[in-house]
Chain A
Amino acid sequence: MCLGIPGKIVSITTNGLAAVDFDGIKREVSLMLCPEAEIGDYVLVHVGFALRRLEPEDAQETLRLFREIEESYREETPGAG
């Protein structure tokens, strides 16, 4: 039941509602719980409410994980792999 779906804010009306684009399907979403969201932001939406602005996805994050795993190899299993 705790599904959250990311969508992109296309427009914002004055009464705290936003039009959010979910991969081509547009829905009205309340910004009451996330008033800082702006047009162009990706938000996590649950039962018609934006819960949070999503951080732009960083390839950095994935790279960090790669590096971490690589380093653990170098430290612990020299020559292996």
Chain B
Amino acid sequence: MRKHPGLAEARLAPLLLKEITGFAGLSDQPLRLMEVCGTHTVAIFRSGIKSLLPSAIELLSGPGCPVCVTPTAEIDQAITLARQKDVILATFGDLMRVPGSSSTLQQERAQGRTIRVILSPLDALQLAAEHPDHVVCLFAVGFETTSPTIAAAVTEAGSQGLTNLYLLSSQRTIPPAIRALLANGMAQIDGFILPGHVSVIIGQAPYRFIAEEFGIPGVITGFEPLDILEGIYMLLKQKKEGRAAIEIQYRRAVAAEGNERARAIMAEVFAPVDANWRGLGMIPASGLALREAFSYLDAARHFALPYIEQGDAPGCLCGAVLQGIRRPPECPLFGTQCTPEEPIGACMVSTEGSCAAYYKYGGRP
């Protein structure tokens, strides 16, 4: 399925850019737009949109890369889990290289721990079924896009009668993080490019506070270059008209009401809990913990995993980068001590981290 006919796309992009440039010219100060989602960060860099925009528009990356916001303490928990006897740790590949306080999952695997990279949470169920003499622990990170799939896998494990599967939940939800970012007032943000696929699940309503309480417009945006240009166009149009509302650009995938069934499964399995975000600290009701009815699956409880808080590496500015307060090249470690090959901060580890995107697509010091 082609999203836009090629010819129309070729004609529309310059038109949109011209409009965007016109809008930007009306503002007497630079406009700072934050893309919350790591997938947007990569799409913006890869497409070269950043270099096409007028200099009056600055794009900031927010706290929307699940790997980047997972605190060291939770990586340490996963490592502790992987070191248990007869445990198979199942996790998404993005997490393998994230530094814990003294090791990474990749290093642990090299030392002989059984760590399996999975592409779907259902793969963890299959591992459990294939290895009845082992305990399979699913280390789950992700936002609302991923959480319903984890919840679905949990209920599916129940119906399959698996007794050797546990979950280490390190999941986060997006709206509380945006609220925390706005409430501390440190990042000046004029508009939000809101995450397309998180919104497929949660819909439009959970973002309303951004416009209603903080007077900032937001546009739920898709991931094609033209989607992003249109999202920026819609944001600037709101600015020009003096409006602040939450609008949907990515209409082919996002319904205003989101996916109610997915949210129902999520709510059946998980309850909101306060959670620690790398760089942002503790954010109320921003994490997802197993509800009591499913707590027998809780790996942290079953293995009595300690939670030992760790600071960021000395000099690392991941925290300020994730809040849009500093840009990656402003970090003293960026590109010198901290590179994608030997990352120090999580924003350089994940391909969706803004430091890794800056490093790969330009902006090296």
Could you list which residues of chain A lie within 8 angstroms of chain B, going by C-beta atoms?
1-4, 6, 8, 30, 32-35, 42, 44, 46-49, 51-52, 54-59, 61-63, 65-66, 69, 72
Contacts and interface: CB of A to CB of B under 8 A. Distances in A.
B122 interface: yes
B312 interface: no
Given A33-B261, A47-B119, A55-B251, A1 B5 contact: no
B157 interface: no
Contacts of A72: 19
5 contacts: A1-B39, A2-B64, A4-B145, A4-B197, A55-B251
Interface string B83-110: 0000000001010000000000000000
Contacts of B3: 57
B353 to A, nearest CB: 11
Nearest to B350: A1
Contacts of A54: 1, 252-253
Interface residues of B, number: 52
A20 B355 CA distance: 34
B201 A51 contact: yes
Contact of B253 (A33, A52, A65): A52
Contacts of A59: 4-5, 8
B146 A47 contact: yes
Given A32-B152, A49-B148, A3 B197 contact: yes
B120 A48 contact: yes
Given A1-B38, A47-B146, A62-B4, A35 B261 contact: yes
A35 B148 CA distance: 14
B147 to A, nearest CB: 11
A66 B123 CA distance: 45
B149 to A, nearest CB: 4
B122 A48 contact: yes
Interface in B221-273: 230, 251-253, 255, 259, 261-262, 265
A42 B1 contact: yes
A69 B252 contact: no
B352 interface: yes
Contacts of B143: 1-2
B121 A2 contact: no
Q: Would you list the 4 A-B pairs with minimal beta carbon distance, nearest first? A: A48-B120, A2-B145, A2-B197, A49-B149
A56 B38 CA distance: 26
Interface of B: 1-5, 8-9, 11-12, 15-16, 19, 37-39, 64-67, 92, 94, 119-123, 141-143, 145-146, 148-149, 152, 156, 195-198, 200-201, 230, 251-253, 255, 259, 261-262, 265, 350, 352
Contacts of A6: 1
A35 B265 CA distance: 13
A1 B346 CA distance: 14
Nearest to B145: A2
Contact of A69 (B16, B64, B350): B16
Nearest to B15: A69
Contacts of A4: 145, 196-197, 200, 253
B220 to A, nearest CB: 13
A31 B253 CA distance: 16
Nearest to B2: A57
B67 A62 contact: no
Contacts of B119: 47-48
Contact of B66 (A1, A32, A42, A51): A1
Contacts of B11: 66
